[in-house]
Structure 1
Amino acid sequence: MDQMISANIALDIFGIILSIIPIVYVLSSQRYCQQLNRYFLGVSISNIFMITGDLSDWLIQDVSTRSLQVILSVFSVVYYAASAFVLYFFARYLAEYLKITGRAVKRYLAAVRLVCSVQIFFAIISPFTGAIFYISVHGYQRGNLFLISQIVPLFCYILFTAFVIVYRENLTLREIAFFLLYIFVPLGGGAAQMFLRGIAVVNIGVSLALLLILVNIQFEYELTLRKKEDELAQMRIDIMLSQIQPHFLYNSLATISHLCKHDAKKAQTAIQEFSLFLRGNMDSLKKRNPISFEKELNHVKNYLYLEQQRFQNRLKVIYDIQVSDFYLPPLSLQPLVENSVRHGVLRKEAGGVVTIRTRETKQDYLVIVEDNGIGFERSKEFPNLGEHAHIGIENVRSRLQTMVHGSLKIDSDDMGTSITMRIPKE
Structure 2
Amino acid sequence: MYFKSFFNQQLAQMSYLVGCQKTGEAIIIDPLRDLKPYIEAAEQEGLTIIKVTETHIHADFASGLREANETLNAKAFVSVLGGEDWTYKNINGEYELLKEDDIINVGNVKLKVIHTPGHTPESISFLLYDNASDVPMGLFTGDFIFVGDVGRPDLLEEAAGIKDTTEIGAKAMFNSLKKMDELPDYIQIWPGHGAGSACGKSLGAVPVTTLGYEREKSWAFQIKDEATFVKTLTSEQPEPPYYFKEMKHINRDGVALIDNAIVPPLQNLYDGVKIIDLRAKEIFLDNLSDGINVPYNSKFLGFVGWYLDYEAPIQLIGSFEDVQNAANDLKLIGFDNVIGYVKNVTGGSMQQIEPQHFKSIDQTQINILDVRNNQEWQESHFDNAKHVHFGKLEKEEIPFKKDERIYVHCQSGVRSAIAVSVLHRLGYNDIINIKGGYSAVKQYNR
User: Structures share a fold, TM > 0.5?
Assistant: no
More helix by share: 1
Which bracket does the TM-score occupy, shorter chain normalised? under 0.3
More strand by share: 2
* Greater C-alpha Rg: 1
Larger relative CO (CA 8 A, sep 6+): 1 or 2?
2
Calculate the TM-score normalised by the size of structure 1: 0.24
